[in-house]
């Protein structure tokens, strides 16, 4: 029932989409556990104004013990978990050839395995309740990719597959699973929290020029994009909706455009369209700088 306050567990809630979702849910009167790695440092800005129903709690999704503790804390505090928002994740830019084992595995550990850990931790409570909603934050990059985005897209494609399988598995207990696919939003993920392959940081990438152009172009592009409020608001809608949830909910102009292109085009047509996008951001800036590659 929409109007009853829901207990919602949000990961990666220190900033960006996670913080926006937590604050929007709190503004609508729900009880929110906003989890983050460093609540002492990042919590006050997130909980400001909502002291009664929004709490910052420590949880590092790469550390199972902290996940279990945060879930136990939530159950102790509120007696239930109506919804889980799996949002923790980061954007790593680098070409496939440049990414190290450690860079690839770390990103999977946060973006994919991290979401599976929280799912595993909340399911016993949701099963007992006979209800629950799991909202996995994917990305437009969960259904498309491009140069230097392969590592990140791999994690988001993976979370889409995980979510689709999970939907079948937990449906018998009345537990709903939905994938949210935002396009580019002006969040810390695109700026301070953006990670770049070490090879590029050290200036030794064979793809140096195009990747640098891409990073700069992507940041400039992201700066003109909307902030995360609409994504937070749509996540709150999904927590509240009593209807069955669809598999995917794309958010905003960019995701809708990409998916309608994808649906209408063959893979080869889509590839050509990406090459011809010609904007300053992703992937236009990369293609514009491709002439700098030493291909002899």
Partner 1 sequence: MAIDPRVTIITGASRGFGAAIARELAERGHQAVATMRNPDRDGAAVVKGYEGNIQVTRCDVTDTSTVESAVAFALERHGRIDAVVNNAGYGLIGAIEELQDEELHRLMDTNVTGVIRMVRAVMPAMRRQGGGKILNVSSLAGRISGPAFGGYCGSKHALEGLSEALRYEVAPFGVEVSLITVGAFRTSIQWTGNELTRTLREGRSLYQEPCEAFIQGEKDRATLLPGPRSVAAVIADAVEFADPLPLRIPVGFDTSRVEAVRAKMTDDEFAAMISGMRNTGFPGSWFGTVERQQKEGVL
Of 213, 229, 193, 91, the residue nearest 152 (C-alpha): 91
**H helix intervals, 183-251:** 198-201, 208-223, 229-240
Active site residue 152: yes
Please report whether residue 186 would count as binding partner 1 according to CB under 8 A.
yes
Handedness of CA 139, 89, 26, 229 (dihedral sign): negative
Q: Select the residue interacting with partner 1 from 130, 203, 242, 278 (CB under 8 A).
A: 242
Please report whether residue 243 would count as binding partner 1 according to CB under 8 A.
yes
Please report whether residue 176 would count as binding partner 1 according to CB under 8 A.
no
Please report whether residue 248 would count as binding partner 1 according to CB under 8 A.
yes
Q: Select the residue interacting with partner 1 from 104, 213, 249, 289 (CB under 8 A).
A: 249
Q: Select the residue interacting with partner 1 from 109, 259, 273, 290 (CB under 8 A).
A: 259
Which residues lie closer than 8 Å to 110 by C-beta, 6 or more apart?
61, 62, 88, 89, 90
- Closer CB to partner 1, residue 160 or residue 254? 254
- DSSP summary character for residue 267: H
- Closer CB to partner 1, residue 79 or residue 227? 227
- Closer CB to partner 1, residue 206 or residue 245? 245
Check 115, 156, 163, 221 and give the catalytic one. 156
Active site residue 14: yes
- Closer CB to partner 1, residue 88 or residue 222? 222
Stretch that binds partner 1, among 11-19, 107-115, 141-149, 237-245 (CB under 8 A): 237-245
Residues 127 to 166 in contact with partner 1, rule: CB under 8 A: none
Q: Distance between CA 70 and CA 88 in Å, rounded?
A: 14
- Closer CB to partner 1, residue 20 or residue 197? 20
Write out the two tokens for 159.
Answer: 């979370």
Q: Select the residue interacting with partner 1 from 97, 241, 265, 272 (CB under 8 A).
A: 241
Check 15, 115, 138, 163 and give the catalytic one. 138
Find the shortest distance in angstroms from Cβ 131 to partner 1.
13
- Closer CB to partner 1, residue 28 or residue 117? 28
Query: Taking the CA of residue 11 as centre, how many other CA atoms within 13 Å lie in the half-sphere pointing to its CB?
Result: 32
Please report whether residue 32 would count as binding partner 1 according to CB under 8 A.
no
Q: Select the residue interacting with partner 1 from 65, 202, 263, 278 (CB under 8 A).
A: 263
Find the shortest distance in angstroms from Cβ 273 to partner 1.
14
Please report whether residue 256 would count as binding partner 1 according to CB under 8 A.
yes
Kindly state the number of chain residues that form the binding site for partner 1, as judged by CB under 8 A.
Answer: 40
Other CB atoms closer than 10 Å to residue 155's CB: what's the count? 26
Is-contact 30 54, C-beta < 8 A?
Answer: no
Write out the catalytic residue numbers.
14, 138, 152, 156
Q: Which residues bind partner 1 (CB under 8 A)?
A: 1-3, 24, 28, 178, 186, 191, 223-227, 229-230, 232-234, 236-238, 240-243, 245-254, 256-257, 259, 263, 279
């Amino acid at each position: 029932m929409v109007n009853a306050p829901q207990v919602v567990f949000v990961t990666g809630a220190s900033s960006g989409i996670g913080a926006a979702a937590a604050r929007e849910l709190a503004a609508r009167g729900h009880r929110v556990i906003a989890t983050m790695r460093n609540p002492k440092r990042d919590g006050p800005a997130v909980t400001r104004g909502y002291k009664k129903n929004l709490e910052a709690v420590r949880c590092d999704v790469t550390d199972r013990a902290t996940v279990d503790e945060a879930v136990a804390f939530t159950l102790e505090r509120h007696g239930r978990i109506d919804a889980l928002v799996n949002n923790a994740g980061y954007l790593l830019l680098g070409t496939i050839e440049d990414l190290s084992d450690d860079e690839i595995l770390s990103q999977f550990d946060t973006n994919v395995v991290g979401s599976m850990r929280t799912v595993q931790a909340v399911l016993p409570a949701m099963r007992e309740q006979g209800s629950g909603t799991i909202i996995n934050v994917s990305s437009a990059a969960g259904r498309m990719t491009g140069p230097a985005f392969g590592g990140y897209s791999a994690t988001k494609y993976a979370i889409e597959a995980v979510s689709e399988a999970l939907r079948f598995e937990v449906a018998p207990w009345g537990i709903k699973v939905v994938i949210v696919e935002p396009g580019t939003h002006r969040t810390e993920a695109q700026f301070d929290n953006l990670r770049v392959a070490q090879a590029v940081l050290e200036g030794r990438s064979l793809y140096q020029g195009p990747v640098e152009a891409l990073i700069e172009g992507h940041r400039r592009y992201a700066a003109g994009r909307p902030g995360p409020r609409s994504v937070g608001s749509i996540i709150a809608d999904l927590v509240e909706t009593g209807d069955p949830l669809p598999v995917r909910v794309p958010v905003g102009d960019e995701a809708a455009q990409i998916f309608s292109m994808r649906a209408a085009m063959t893979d080869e047509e889509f590839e050509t369209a990406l090459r011809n996008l010609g904007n300053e951001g992703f992937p236009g800036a990369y293609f514009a700088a491709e002439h700098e590659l030493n291909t002899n």
